[in-house]
Structure 1
Amino acid sequence: MSTSRPFHLSRRQVVRGLLATTAFGVTSKFGTGCSSSTGNQSSSDGTDKPIVMGFIYVGPKDDYGYNQAHAEGKAGVSKLTWVKSVEQANVPETTDVQEAMRNMIEQDGATVIFPTSFGYFDPHVLKLAQEYPEVQFVHCGGLYQEGKHPKNVGSYFGFIDEAEYLAGIVAAKATKTNKVGFIAAKPIPQVLRNINSFTLGARSVNPNISTQVIFTGDWSLPVKEAEATNSMVDQRIDVITCHVDSPKVIVETAEKRGIFTTGFHANQAVLAPKGYLTGAEWDWTNVYSKYAEMIRAGKTLMNGGIPHLVRGGFKEGFLKLSPYGPAVNDEAKKLADAAKAKFIDGSMVVYKGGLQDNTGKIVIPAGKDLKQQDSELEKMNWLVAGVVGKVGS
């Protein structure tokens, strides 16, 4: 599975990681070819030895979702002529990932590993980090704790709920019934934050919007995802989004039923040429390229040159929005673009003081706004007003 459990971090850690992260513009393009790619430019120490970066995915590289997004990032950083990248897909969250990492280090000469699935972290990444103290292990969304975990371990992730907020705006301008749907895997803080941000974005332009939520129970359950989509359509919901590992089945089912979708993780527009509105996408090329540049400059997790905790949103180049589909009108584009500009300049506040959950309880007190990097949002266990459903149901 992908990042699938809450993680608790101090405000100081989150802010420090955010401030250390900057956008780094490199075009991302998905590569489906060989398992490795090599550049031919000398490294900064004058040798011909490239920086070898290893990437490990829990599912297939072409899942139109979480794993494809990371594979696209790997393909993007591989365009740097002084980087050699190796990858392995469909690696379960067992000792198999230890073997995959060990092979990349010993056979391919990898000096930095990016294990992208949550379940890889403990105990597998932590065990290998102790075994290979000279290798850097940078985990997606992990629970890095300063003073507890090895110094050659780091963590990176992004505030993709920013893109979900924009998708909510677009969905609100597309719905005719004022009923939208969200199919989610599990009610963890990361997922709840996406549901809430999507709903708040939609209700920022149409307060009458309601979001029906269905939790499937796991990250990849295609049959349940199809059933949930059909159930929503039968309830007159006419825009659906999701947080599962691969949105493919949801997007394709919605297209067959003649309703709109917004995507997640990667671009699913090709699956729904009529109904795909836009989507919340990762831009891992920027993130991986930034890491490569820091390593090339001699910075490491061990010497303190690379932050152990890195987080970011649109401003830091972690995210992108799928191109608008043919059904998105100019007004929707204008509203979404304006909100994106506020995220980039730092003026957007999604979680404002006085916010109520869907039971009427105040979950953020009046006068206390929570910015994107606030660690309290990492502990979210509620659904905002306008969401139909319960945490855990």
Structure 2
Amino acid sequence: MNCFSVFFPRLAPSIQIIQRFWHIASLAAFLSACSSPTPTTQTTSPAPTASAQDFTVGLVIVGPKNDGGWNQAHYEGMEQVAKNLRIKLEYVDKVNPGDRPNVTGAQVADDLISKGAKLIIFSSDDFKDDALATAKKYADLPIIHASGDYAWKEGKNFKNQPNFGNIMGRMEYGKMMAGCAAALGSETGKIGYVGPLINDETRRYVSAAYLGAKHCWETYRKKDVKDLQFKVTWIGFWFNIPGKTLDPTKVADDFYNGGYDVVMSGIDTPEVAVQGKKAAAAGKSVKFVHYDLKTGCNLAPDICLGVPFYNWVPSYTTAIETAIAGKMPNEFIWLGPNFKDLNGADSMIGFMNGKALGDQAPIMAEFIKGLGDGSTDLYKGALNYQDGTPFLKAGEKATDQQIWYMPQLLAGMQGSSK
């Protein structure tokens, strides 16, 4: 498995386009109040031009742009790209069933395109079908989906759509680092993980976190894996939707109150950090690992072990420059860390140590070095799935497809696979 940048094409199930009986004008009026204040220029053609000043990118965001996680990382990354390239940015955030029950990602894209957007970025796995439908509807306009695999020729769900591309980071590395930090910081061996909904992506991320925790628990802490209790509780979506998901505040509290001294976040929002800070203030010896956003430890710095994060600037810069040049950024791009400069400007995946990691930081550096030079390969068998069937045979190394399409959690983990 390549530790650096990997480019592939990718996936898709069948698309169902649901006709909604409402007026486009009212939708546009509603969305215009929610998009960025940046003025846009109306255009009669969505085709890219050669002028960056005339180029508008539309960003469809599943959650709040200031969520302290996934969505904020996208928004801040695109803000930086817009500033660097001197392009215009239009966005609509909170595009989800809880905040906008009658609005689809495809309808938001229609509105952004009507305002002059010449490239649309959909920033959630939940938008995979909206993104593909938009690409088919606007065949001369480049569409980017962050996550998803419809552009992956070697994937299971390839759709031959020339104006459609996928961009994602190899967060498996970040999650292995996060899991290692959790194991280095735990005294009880009880690590909780607050997970979102269950799919291939989330199963592979929490499994990567477990592999990192298991390795560092055994290798550096010199403790028996039988004494490691790693449990995931899924809330049902990327963030809390009252009445539809488990409350992540309660899930985090249940971990902290149940003897789990390290809790890891796999969701978009900061409940794990917020409740950890409260638990620590109440006298509990607890720590946490944040997710998604480089500055995530700032939420509760004294008890933060670290945060794996995405840097969307380099990949979005390349995609937009490609579109401005009149070409379609239609690759499947799955970018790993730049281990030579892990937290630098060109690394898609990074890891920031937290204050609570303390004197374990050199051990974390050693672990990361092993991931970078290949001497530590956690995707090498023998490894079994949760039901006991083999994931990897002894000595077998996982392919990209085996990692991406993770059908179950791994043996040794607690929590549901489906």
Normalised to the residue count of structure 2, the TM-score between the two structures is: 0.75
Task: Write the distance in 2 (CA, Å) between the matches of 1:348 and 1:115.
Answer: 34
Divergent runs of 4+, >6 A: none
3-state DSSP of counterpart to 2:8: helix
Superposition pairs of residues 128-139 of structure 1, within 5 angstroms:
128-139=134-145
Q: Which moved more, 1:127-136 or 1:138-147?
A: 138-147
Partner-residue secondary structure (3-state), 1:138: strand
SS in 2 for 1:264: coil
User: In structure 1, what is the equivalent of residue 82 of structure 2?
Assistant: 78
* SS of aligned partner of 1:265: coil
Please say if residues 53 and 87 of structure 2, whose CA atoms lie closer than 8 Å, have aligned partners that are also in contact.
Answer: no
**2:287 aligned partner:** 260
- Equivalent pair of 1:141/1:157 in contact (CA under 8 Å): yes
Superposed CA deviations along residues 246-280 of structure 1, whole A, max 9, x for unmatched, are 1x112111221121000111132222122111111
Are the aligned partners of 2:178 and 2:209 in contact in 1 as well (CA < 8 Å)? Answer: yes
Q: Could you say what the CA RMSD is over the residues aligned between the two structures, in angstroms?
A: 2.9
1:125/1:380 Cα in 2 relative to 1: closer, same or farther (>3 Å)? closer
Q: Residue in 1 aligned with 2:31?
A: none
Match of 2:414 among 373, 381, 388: 388
Q: Deviations over 1:163-213 (max 9, x none)?
A: 111111211121111111111123322112122211211221213332122
Whichever residue aligns with residue 8 of structure 2, its letter is: G
Partner residue in 2 for 1:250 = 272
Check 1:46–1:121 CA distance in 2 against 1; reply closer, same or farther (3 A cut): closer
Do the aligned residues in 2 keep the contact of 1:180 with 1:237 (CA within 8 Å)?
yes
**Residue 367 of structure 2 is aligned to residue 339 of structure 1:** yes
Among 141, 151, 160, the residue aligned to 2:171 = 160
Tell me, in whole angstroms, the C-alpha distance in 2 between the residues paired with 1:215 and 1:45. 44
Change (3 A) 1:128 1:213: closer
Distance in 2, Cα, partners of 1:260 & 1:156: 32
Unaligned runs of 5+ in 1: 1-13, 19-32, 39-43
Give the Cα–Cα distance (whole angstroms) in 2 for the partners of residues 388 and 244 of structure 1.
18
Asked if 2 retains the 8 angstrom alpha-carbon contact of 1:181 and 1:211, the reply is yes
Contact 1:287 1:317 in 2 (8 A): no
Matches of 2:210 and 2:80, distance apart in 1: 32
CA deviation map 1:25-74 (0-9, x unaligned): xxxxxxxx954389xxxxx9875744321111121101112211111111
CA distance in structure 2 between the partners assigned to 1:346 and 1:50 by the alignment:
44
Deviation at 1:106, TM superposition (A): 2.5
Partner of 2:208: 197
Q: Given residue 313 of structure 1, which amino acid in structure 2 is its aligned partner?
A: G
Alpha-carbon distance in structure 1 between the residues aligned to 2:78 and 2:207? 30
**Counterpart contact for 1:17–1:307, Cα < 8 Å:** no
**Which of residues 263, 267, 283 is equivalent to 1:240?**
263
Determine the structure 2 residue equivalent to 1:41. none
Distance 1:62 1:277, change over 3 A: same
- Output the CA distance in 2 between the equivalents of 1:97 and 1:391: 28
Aligned residues: 349
* Greater mean alpha carbon deviation, residues 72-81 or residues 126-135: 126-135
**Distance apart, 1:310 and its partner CA:** 0.9
String of CA shifts for 1:83-138, please: whole Å, max 9, x gaps: 2222111223665433322232222x22111011233331x333332332221111
CA contact (8 A) 2:135 2:164 kept: yes
